[in-house]
Amino acid sequence: MAKKDTQPQTSSKKKTAFGIFLEELTRGSLLVPILAIVTGLLLGGLIVALTTEQVYTTWSESPLEAIGIGVNAALRSYGALFNGSIGNPERIIDALSSGEEAAIRRAFNPFLESLTKSVPYIFAGLAVALGFRAGLFNIGAEGQLFIGAITSVYVGFALTGLPAIIHLPLALGAGALGGALWGFIPGWLKAKTGGHEVINTIMMNYIAFRLSEYLLRGPLQRPGSTNPISPFIEASAQLPRFFDSPIRFHLGFFIALAAAYGVYWLLFKTRIGFELRTVGANPKAARYAGMNIVWVTVLAMSLSGALAGMAGANEVLGLNYNLAPAFSSGYGFDSIALALIGKSHPLGVVLAALLFGTLRNGALQMQIAANVPVDIISVMQALILAFIAAPAIIRTIYRLRTPEDDDDQLHVRGWGG
């Protein structure tokens, strides 16, 4: 149904970013990703209800009441999640009517914090999506993110006396370069020796973790500190924030959006992007067309690594201003879900990243207000990923028709390929 509407738009020569995105989405079914997200959230609520003790104590007296308590618990949790991630509507109205500036800042902070939390998700999701487009499974975004954080923090504190206009781009560039190196190695190994990038990026992840542990206990350790933590970066390397405390919303968000547009432009408007997508869709055809598969593979993995590196750089330059172990909390792995939900399209990735950033931000409030550990978010993300990856499950649950051209499978081959 939606397909017909977009047909004229896609056949015309001028394709807007949104047009291409719509086309990509409707090729499968727009419903599947949305239903996958809804189902994941519902199941998350079910887990919350099932882990509420009161449900079991009242069950023997009145099962109906027990179910009510469970539903209530789930609703309360999601209410807290909403207030913590979008903002409490009452508070926003009160703050606006009072006209007090500090109150307005506090009221809008949850929403802006959600945007801030989605920055690493946007970058890491773009990294994985770019790899998918070239037929490469970059499961090493997590490691690339660590390396990017390390290199940008190093440039951030080691160079002193530079103006921000030079220092900040240098630090960001260092992050991208570090991540690119960590992506280049498996890309080169894949192109030259056929060593599968999935295994190699997993290995590179752990090498990155160990390397960062070593650096934070050794060369990069803050002088005088016994904890494994880096020195603070110079003020000139910090990504500027737009509002006063407590709002942490920073320039990184707009850099992330620019990166998303850059990836879109590269993939769909340039010759390199065309080659990249061709290699991803059909390497044999690409070879017959005279494309250099080695070069495309190495380039795709390096760019993917650079994007993941930017995720790490934005976390340290925009939020933490230093590097401590375990600062990432799994962005690299969640980004696989983002790329799949967004169908490896930059706009889709950005939307999915906004959703995940919102969830993660709201989960903190949920933990405080409703005593639901933040880790429920990981469970929901895993469920959403499962439904996205196996759309047949969603189609079975909601009795959707299977589309004729069921071409939303990944173009990734097995170990041997």
Partner 1 sequence: MSSQSTTIPTVASYGTARRRTTMGIVFLALAGVIWYFFSRTTQAGMITTFTLNPGGSQANFPDLVFGTLPILNVLASVCALIGAFQLVRGFGKRTNAVLGLVAALFIFAFLSWVASGASLNLAGLLRATLIRAIPITLGALSGILCERAGVVNIAIEGMMLTSAMLAAIFGSLYGLWVGLFSGVIAGGLLALVHAILSIKYKTDQIVSGTVINIFSIGITSFISAKYLASSRHLNNPGIFSDIQIPGLVDIPFIGPIAFSHNIFFFGMVILLALLHFGLFFTRWGLRLRSVGEHPKAADTLGINVFRTRYMAVILGGMMAGFGGAYFTLGSVGRFDEVMTAGRGFIGLAAMIFGNWNPFGAFGAGLLFGFADMLAARLAILGVRVPSEFLLMAPYVATMIILAGVVGRGQMPAADGQPYEKEGH
Question: What residues line the site for partner 1 (CB under 8 A)?
Answer: 47, 51, 137, 139, 189, 192-196, 198-200, 202-204, 206-207, 209-211, 213-214, 217-218, 330, 333-334, 336-337, 340, 371-373, 375-383, 385-386, 389-390, 392-393, 409-410, 412-417
Give the bridge partners for 250, in sequence order.
241
**186, 200 Cβ separation under 8 angstroms:** yes
Three-point CA angle 214, 219, 221, nearest 5°:
85
- Give the nearest distance from C-beta 295 to partner 1 in angstroms: 19
Burial class (CB in 10 A: 0-12, 13-18, 19+), 193: exposed
First to last CA, the chain: 37
- Give the nearest distance from C-beta 46 to partner 1 in angstroms: 13
- Give the nearest distance from C-beta 280 to partner 1 in angstroms: 14
If the CB atoms of residues 170 and 203 are measured against partner 1, the closer one turns out to be 203
If the CB atoms of residues 34 and 390 are measured against partner 1, the closer one turns out to be 390
- Give the nearest distance from C-beta 314 to partner 1 in angstroms: 22
Q: Which amino acid is at 81?
A: L
If the CB atoms of residues 164 and 207 are measured against partner 1, the closer one turns out to be 207
- Give the nearest distance from C-beta 188 to partner 1 in angstroms: 10
**131, 192 Cβ separation under 8 angstroms:** no
If the CB atoms of residues 79 and 330 are measured against partner 1, the closer one turns out to be 330
d(CA 281, CA 410): 9
Tokens coding 2: 């939606």
- Give the nearest distance from C-beta 17 to partner 1 in angstroms: 26
Judged by DSSP in three states, 250 sits in: strand
- As a dihedral over the C-alpha atoms of residue 200, residue 201, residue 203, residue 208, rounded to 10 degrees, the angle is 140
Place of tokens 């061709």: 278
Tokens coding 134: 């070239």
Q: Which long-range contacts link 371-374 to residues 24+ away (Cβ below 8 Å)?
A: 372/48, 372/51, 372/77
- Give the nearest distance from C-beta 341 to partner 1 in angstroms: 12
If the CB atoms of residues 161 and 218 are measured against partner 1, the closer one turns out to be 218
If the CB atoms of residues 252 and 332 are measured against partner 1, the closer one turns out to be 332
d(CA 204, CA 225): 28
- Give the nearest distance from C-beta 351 to partner 1 in angstroms: 20
d(CA 348, CA 125): 10
d(CA 10, CA 15): 6
- Give the nearest distance from C-beta 109 to partner 1 in angstroms: 25
| DSSP letters spanning 234-249 | PGGGSPPBSS-TT---
